[in-house]
């Protein structure tokens, strides 16, 4: 039987319109292909996407069998700003005037953070349409604000978000997270356990089928010949915790057969380049297009990602970066203290404690001394595991089961 689904998130977009928000769209696309009626409601103020220009408050499109509703919302240029929060509030206000007569009556409404405030509209729609409500958590707020944003738990804004979060956990018919251990956090917030489900990031098969080669001069300039290359590919900002990686390069500066590569852009790129300019075993390569990322990773021997010490990671991770790394078929080493997932499940790499330079040095050295065929086998396990477990058709089918079997908690 066909199900009518609304997927509501301020930050979701078709893959072709940018790099952010693709997971939700691809899940809904698969549900549409299964014959379900799907509407996605999103905003035009997503910094990491390229939404259409809206002349009016709402723009409706039919894309991939999905009814896509863009909501014109206040723009902002700085993520950590009051204007971003005002944009959240503006989005929720505009949703109150959503021309719902143009949408099919929902059987299920999925509200996906961020913005966490969409939970309030979701609770209203749940009452109005007598439909199921799924609360999807992609970022654990307000915990992230406290742990990584420097806010105090007593801050009025943080406290208010905490109230919204508890309402969502208490009254939603189903709770879904991209992180595998979200249930522990939900229990901590509510004071009692609540069933939770994990629908993580998946593999966009079409994106990996359309890869581009690197320009010849890029390879010649940034990849040293005949060396073991350890790489971080992605954003270079405060949340990426690259200090451990760079200090590892400093500690191994005399081991000239090992080279460290950072590819990407971000607020801290110039500062890092200046601080570590004296190192001959470290190169900063410019950002490449998404279609070229796999071409960069293919030329590396060991791939690296890191996080800061934070309670956020106690509940697990499901990062696009890790998917890109594993799809490259290369071993992954992570400076990560938290709930393990993906890398350990696939047995395609190792974790070292976040911030522990000595442990990272030891692990890089171990991989560099390893037989190349053994490294290939380790990397191949990661790609095989992803292909078996993280295809969007499989994840969408699991999501549909959660939507269909949701039991109201009230």
Are 360 and 304 contained in the same domain?
yes
Are 82 and 230 contained in the same domain?
no
Over the stretch 355-392, which tens digit does the pLDDT of each residue have?
A: 999 999 999 999 999 999 999 999 999 999 999 999 99
Cα angle 85-91-93, degrees, rounded to a multiple of 5: 105
Are 20 and 82 contained in the same domain?
yes
> What's the structural domain count of the chain?
2
What radius of gyration, in Å, describes the C-alpha atoms of the chain? 22
- The arithmetic mean of pLDDT across residues 304-323, rounded, is 94
Among the residue ranges 5-19, 65-79, 149-163, the one predicted with the least confidence is 5-19
Helix (H) or strand (E) holding 93: helix 82-95
CATH of residue 171's domain is 3.40.50.2000
Q: Would you say residue 299 lies in a domain?
A: yes
Given a cut of 90, is residue 405 above it in pLDDT? Answer: no
Strand order across the beta sheet in which 302-306 lies: 282-285, 258-263, 228-233, 302-306, 332-335, 349-352
Confidence of residue 15 (pLDDT cuts 50, 70, 90): confident
Given a cut of 90, is residue 226 above it in pLDDT? Answer: yes
Given a cut of 50, is residue 32 above it in pLDDT? Answer: yes
CB 283 within 8 Å of CB 260: yes
- The arithmetic mean of pLDDT across residues 191-220, rounded, is 92
- Determine how many CB atoms are found less than 10 A away from the CB of residue 49: 21
Q: Would you say residue 118 lies in a domain?
A: yes
What pLDDT is attached to residue 406?
52
Are 218 and 345 contained in the same domain?
yes
What pLDDT is attached to residue 351?
98
Given a cut of 50, is residue 408 above it in pLDDT? Answer: no
Which DSSP symbol is given to 407? -
CB 19 within 8 Å of CB 4: no
| Averaged pLDDT of the chain | 94
Q: Would you say residue 410 lies in a domain?
A: no
CB 186 within 8 Å of CB 314: no
Domain that holds residue 94: 4-202+390-404
Task: Report the alpha-carbon distance of residue 271 to residue 275 in Å, rounded.
Answer: 6
Confidence of residue 18 (pLDDT cuts 50, 70, 90): very low
Q: Would you say residue 109 lies in a domain?
A: yes
Are 114 and 219 contained in the same domain?
no
Are 82 and 153 contained in the same domain?
yes
Are 71 and 143 contained in the same domain?
yes
Are 9 and 124 contained in the same domain?
yes
Are 138 and 243 contained in the same domain?
no
What pLDDT is attached to residue 410?
36
Are 34 and 112 contained in the same domain?
yes
- The arithmetic mean of pLDDT across residues 138-151, rounded, is 93
In three-state form (DSSP H/G/I as H, E/B as E, the rest C), the secondary structure along 116-170 is: CCHHHHHHHHHHHHCCEEEEEECCCCCHHHHHHHCCCCCCHHHHHHHHHHHHHHH
Q: Would you say residue 61 lies in a domain?
A: yes
Over the stretch 37-75, which tens digit does the pLDDT of each residue have?
A: 999 999 999 877 889 999 999 999 999 999 999 999 999
Task: Report the alpha-carbon distance of residue 145 to residue 150 in Å, rounded.
Answer: 7
- The arithmetic mean of pLDDT across residues 89-103, rounded, is 97
**Dihedral over Cα of 240, 245, 247, 253: its sign:** negative
Are 68 and 181 contained in the same domain?
yes
Nearest Cα to Cα of residue 169 among 140, 149, 190:
190
Are 310 and 333 contained in the same domain?
yes
């Amino acid at each position: 039987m066909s199900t009518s689904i609304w997927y509501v998130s301020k930050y979701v977009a078709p893959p072709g319109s940018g790099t952010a928000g693709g997971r939700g769209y691809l899940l809904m696309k698969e549900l549409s292909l299964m014959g379900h009626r799907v509407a996605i409601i999103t905003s035009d103020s997503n910094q990491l996407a390229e939404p259409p220009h809206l002349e009016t408050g709402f723009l409706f499109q039919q894309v991939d069998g999905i009814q896509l509703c863009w909501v014109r919302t206040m723009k902002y240029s700085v993520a950590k700003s009051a204007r971003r929060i005002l944009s959240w509030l503006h989005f929720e206000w505009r949703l109150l005037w959503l021309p719902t007569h143009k949408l099919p009556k929902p059987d299920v409404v999925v509200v996906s953070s961020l913005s966490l405030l969409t939970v309030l509209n979701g609770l209203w729609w749940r009452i109005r349409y007598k439909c199921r409500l799924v609360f999807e958590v992609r970022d654990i707020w307000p915990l992230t604000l406290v742990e990584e944003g420097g806010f105090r738990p007593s801050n009025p804004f943080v406290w208010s978000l905490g109230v919204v979060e508890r309402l969502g956990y208490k009254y939603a018919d189903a709770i879904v997270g991209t992180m595998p251990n979200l249930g522990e956090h939900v229990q901590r917030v509510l004071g009692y356990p609540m069933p939770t489900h994990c629908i993580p990031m998946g593999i966009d098969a079409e994106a990996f089928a359309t890869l581009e080669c690197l320009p010849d001069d890029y390879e010649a300039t940034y990849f040293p010949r005949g060396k073991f290359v350890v790489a971080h590919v992605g954003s270079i900002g405060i949340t990426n915790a690259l200090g451990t990686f760079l200090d590892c390069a400093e500690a191994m500066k005399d081991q000239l057969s090992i080279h460290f590569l950072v590819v990407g852009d971000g607020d801290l790129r110039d500062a890092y380049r200046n601080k570590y300019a004296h190192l001959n075993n470290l190169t900063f390569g410019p950002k490449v297009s998404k279609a070229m990322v796999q071409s960069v990773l293919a030329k590396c021997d060991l791939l690296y990602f890191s996080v800061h010490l934070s309670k956020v990671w106690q509940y697990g991770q499901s990062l696009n970066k890790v998917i890109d790394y594993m799809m490259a078929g290369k071993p992954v080493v992570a400076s990560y203290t938290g709930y393990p997932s993906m890398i350990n499940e696939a047995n395609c790499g190792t974790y070292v404690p976040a911030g522990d330079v000595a442990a990272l040095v030891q692990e890089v050295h171990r991989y560099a001394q390893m037989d190349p065929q053994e490294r290939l086998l380790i990397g191949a396990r990661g790609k095989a595991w992803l292909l078996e477990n993280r295809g969007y058709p499989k994840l969408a089918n699991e999501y549909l089961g959660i939507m269909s079997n949701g039991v109201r908690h009230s």
